[in-house]
Structures are given as C-alpha cells and as structure tokens.
C-alpha cells in the first residue's frame, strides 16, 4: 500500500465575509504531490484536487473572476479515488464502513482541519506537517462526534 506523506497544510477563513472556511493539504502518494482542498460554505463542503497550490485563490473567493470560476470547474471533484464526496455525514458513514486506507485517513484529516477552531487548527498543522498519514493522530471531528 502506498503511504501518503503530508507535505503542507493550510486553513483559513475566506475574505468574502461569509461563513466560509478553506483547508488545503499537500500530500505525496509516492508518485507525485497534489493538493486536496475543501471549501466549506455554511457547513456544506466542496472539494477540489489540484497539482498547484490554489489555497490563496480559494481564500480570495472572487466569484466575479472568470479565471477563478474556470479553476473551480477544472479542479472540482465529487469522489476521491472512488470515495464519494458530498455531505459530511454521508462521507463519515462511508469511511466508517470501509477498512482504514490512506484515502480515508486523508479525508478524515482534511475534515478535522476545516472543522476545527483556530487553536486546534494550528495544532493539527504542527502535528501533521512532514509526517506520513499513519503516523498522525487525527483528531475526531465534530461531525464524527455527533455520529457516535
């Protein structure tokens, strides 16, 4: 099984003033590095996968910019290596039914990152950067807690 190395993590609130949070994780799957991005608007997640770091563009969230709209279209994903992406509860339910894989761990990590408060976000970044996924103690997100 390939191991994912977490190379970088970012999280922040968008500049639009809406209740929107963006988290991005750069991971290396032993072949290439990619960025998994989650853009949460009022509790609803949307995912993007990109080779380049698009975090700053997501934070700016300039919907009037045609290039930004194209970027969102080009990088949008509704599944990650066969795992369906959508509502948090559906994703956690799917993860809980599957054996633990690098993909399920990465998804749990990005959900924990985007759902954490500011202090916990900093802790997650500090404890995760430069480590393999199976070396990280991924905190239980509020979504997972609510489903227990």
What are the 10-residue block averages of pLDDT along the chain, 148 residues in total?
93 83 96 96 94 94 88 96 94 92 96 94 97 96 89
Domain around 52: 5-147
Confidence at residue 32, expressed as pLDDT on a 0 to 100 scale: 95
Q: What pLDDT does residue 66 have? A: 92
Other Cβ atoms within 10 Å of 98 Cβ, number: 11
What is the SS3 assignment for 146?
helix
Structure confidence at residue 80 (pLDDT): 95
Angle at 96 between CA 132 and CA 19, to 5 degrees: 80
Q: Between the CA of residue 95 and those of 29, 42, 51, 74, 117, what are the distances in Å? A: 19, 23, 25, 26, 23
Number of domains in the chain: 1
Continuous segment of H or E residues that includes residue 26:
strand 20-28
Give the residue from 48, 21, 33 showing the smallest Cα distance to 113. 21
102 contact partners, CB below 8 Å, separation of at least 6? 1, 2, 3, 4, 29, 133, 134
Per-residue pLDDT at 19: 76
């Amino acid at each position: 099984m390939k191991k994912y190395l977490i190379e970088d993590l970012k999280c922040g609130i968008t500049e639009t003033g809406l209740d929107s949070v963006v988290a991005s994780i750069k991971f290396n799957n032993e072949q290439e590095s990619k960025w998994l991005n989650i853009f949460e608007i009022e509790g609803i997640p949307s995912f993007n996968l990109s080779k380049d770091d698009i975090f700053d563009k997501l934070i700016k969230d300039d919907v009037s910019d045609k290039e930004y709209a194209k970027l969102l279209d080009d990088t949008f994903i509704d599944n990650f290596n066969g795992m369906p992406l959508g509502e948090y509860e559906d994703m956690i339910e799917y993860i809980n039914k599957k054996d633990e894989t690098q993909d399920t761990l990465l998804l749990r990590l990005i959900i924990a990152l985007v759902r954490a408060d500011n202090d916990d976000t900093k802790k997650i970044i500090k404890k995760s950067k430069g480590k393999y996924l199976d070396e990280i103690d991924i905190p239980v997100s509020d979504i997972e807690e609510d489903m227990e």
